[in-house]
Amino acid sequence: MLLHAVTFVGLLLAQPEIPSPKDAALKQELARLQGGWQIEAMQEDGEKTAAADLKGRTLFFGRDTFLFRRPDNLIQIGMLKLDPAKTPKTVNVTIMRGPQKGDTMLGIYTVEGDALKVCLHVPGEERPKDFSAASGSGRLFVTAKRIRNKDDGPDLTGAYRSVSTEIDGSKHAAEVDIERMGDAYLVTYKRGPGVAYIGIGLRKGNVFCLSWISQGQAGITMYTIESGHRLIGHYSQLGGPGILSEETLTRTDYK
């Protein structure tokens, strides 16, 4: 498994791709779904789920994968295929684990801020045209609200300029893309046309911790999230003497 992961990272670093406008739009749409959502109402084929039964039921989106969960167990895992260019926006849901495993449901969805609506035709024969699930329709209609932690603050997703200072005083610049991935973040460093580093980060309050890897090099960076859309970090490399170097990330796409 480790060899496969290293091989994958090597290929990613060696073969950067420029996304098409359609891929960029899809990436942006997926970013709006990432993380956890509390289910507030659910109706299937005319039957409403009781509020007591909804307690603790959540949806979780990580990239194009979703998990449907109760507090004590996992109900379903599936894959999403979105088309945000359609009106209403469409989604195909393929179940990988749980009830209806192997089936693909056709649906529509809307996400506005912290509010999500999804309507699926469970048999997968026809796509809904509106958000309803009347008796005999074969539809499932779910509304959910984004789960937010009080100390999370604004989302970090966006483009940044990195300036790092090595122990000898030399400075290095790079362009950085931070992408939400579930409750974590995918961070990509680019120098020129190529990818220099890639890593995964976790946030808690105003602290952001990043574990990164490049060809033949790995390390960790700890950032303090400051106002003014800046992250001030200190990093160290695996196998090095443990001396901390400095880095500043400054948001470049903020409007």
What is the predicted pLDDT for the residue at 5?
40
Which residue ranges in the chain fall short of pLDDT 70? 1-19, 150-152, 255
What is the predicted pLDDT for the residue at 45?
96
What is the predicted pLDDT for the residue at 82?
96
Do residues 29 and 22 make contact, with C-beta atoms less than 8 angstroms apart? no
Task: From 239, 50, 32, 37, select the one nearest 143 (Cα to Cα).
Answer: 37
Based on C-alpha coordinates, what's the Rg of the chain?
A: 21
Q: pTM for the complete prediction?
A: 0.76
What is the predicted pLDDT for the residue at 151?
64
The DSSP code for 138 is -
Task: From 235, 250, 254, 232, select the one nearest 175 (Cα to Cα).
Answer: 250
What is the predicted pLDDT for the residue at 217?
87
Do residues 105 and 120 make contact, with C-beta atoms less than 8 angstroms apart? yes
DSSP line for 226-251: ETTTEEEEEEEETTS----EEEEEEE
What is the predicted pLDDT for the residue at 11?
38
Task: Give dist(CA 154, CA 176) in Å, integer.
Answer: 18
What is the predicted pLDDT for the residue at 152?
67
